[in-house]
Amino acid sequence: MDLLKLAAFSQNGEGGNPAGVAFCPEMPSAEEMLAIAREVGYSETAFLVQQQGGWRVRYFAPQLEVPFCGHATIALGAALGERFGEGTYTLFLNDSTITVRAFRSGNGMSATLQSPGTWSKEAPVDYVERILAAFGLSRQDLDARFPVRIAGAGATHLVIFVKDRQTLAAMKYPFEQVRALMAEHGLVTISLLWQESDSVIHARNPFASGGVYEDPATGAAAAALAGYLRDIGWPGAQEFVILQGEDMGVPSTLRVSLPVRSGEGVSVSGEVRHIE
């Protein structure tokens, strides 16, 4: 096994979300991958095995396997580009087949993933109230233009927009309580968001389900968000930026394109830097 440590969605060569990328001659057992992910200690580690026509990929957080991880996909895309050249690579996930394109940029290697299909649905009112209470929020703190919904793009997320940047910056929550709440609906992260403009959205992503308090850059949540925005008829830009990790001191930039039609996959791009 050849294990790399990379940060995806870095900003001008700094910040980004760390991910492990493990090239394997054959796929380890789930128990082995979970143990390695815990040892690496990042929010996710991707395990790759080359197959005819592409690469088999599985993603593990320190506490569980996740069906799709955007930042680890961007990281592994850059790793593939460095080893095998720029181009588009096919990835076989547990439940879907996606692609990642590797290309060189001003700060080294970057990548663009094409996510699994997107979807969104209403979140149960009582469930939303319990989530808000856990975060010390009320309906008055929310941006009424954006309904609270459950959304997915290979993994499931809860989308919550707040009215102002200060509310986002003040985010805190009881870890075990929120972890249990997330398990009720299979949430991978909760997306707390604030719209700065029609082309810039700020995000924080609690990842208690995976044993991590907060993710500094979340590509899967970005893809789910784009699908959600298409579903609600958001009048913003067709291509927008998500700024994440700022409140953690780990600035990250995700570049996202709205799907042309509801249900389609989403393009999410970012640069990648080596950690060691």
Residues 212-262 pLDDT 10s: 999 999 999 999 999 999 999 999 999 999 999 999 999 999 999 999 999
Region 28-51: mean pLDDT is 96
pLDDT of amino acid 149: 98
At residue 56, does pLDDT exceed 90?
A: yes
pLDDT of amino acid 54: 97
Q: How far is CA 275 from the centre of its chain?
A: 19
pLDDT, tens digit, for every residue of 88-138? Answer: 999 999 999 999 999 998 888 999 999 999 999 999 999 999 999 999 999
Q: How far is CA 92 from the centre of its chain?
A: 18
pLDDT of amino acid 247: 96
Contacts of 189 (CB under 8 A, 6+ apart): 155, 157, 158, 205, 206, 207, 209, 215, 218, 220, 221
Single-letter amino acid code for the residue at 160? I
At residue 42, does pLDDT exceed 90?
A: yes
Going along the chain from its start, the domains and CATH numbers come out as 2-114 (3.10.310.10), 119-269 (3.10.310.10)
pLDDT, tens digit, for every residue of 259-275? Answer: 999 999 999 999 999 99
pTM of the full structure? 0.94
For 65, the 3-state DSSP assignment is: strand
Single-letter amino acid code for the residue at 39? E
Region 5-12: mean pLDDT is 95
For 29, the 3-state DSSP assignment is: coil
* Selected residue with higher pLDDT from 63 and 20: 20
pLDDT of amino acid 105: 87
pLDDT of amino acid 190: 98
pLDDT of amino acid 107: 80
At residue 68, does pLDDT exceed 90?
A: yes
pLDDT of amino acid 106: 81
Question: For residue 72, which of 93, 33, 102, 45 has the smallest C-alpha distance?
Answer: 45
At residue 276, does pLDDT exceed 80?
A: no
Return d(Cα 70, Cα 78) in angstroms, integer.
13
pLDDT, tens digit, for every residue of 156-211? Answer: 999 999 999 999 999 999 999 999 999 999 999 999 999 999 999 999 999 999 88
Where does the pLDDT of residue 7 fall: very low under 50, low under 70, confident under 90, or very high at 90 and above? very high
pLDDT of amino acid 70: 94
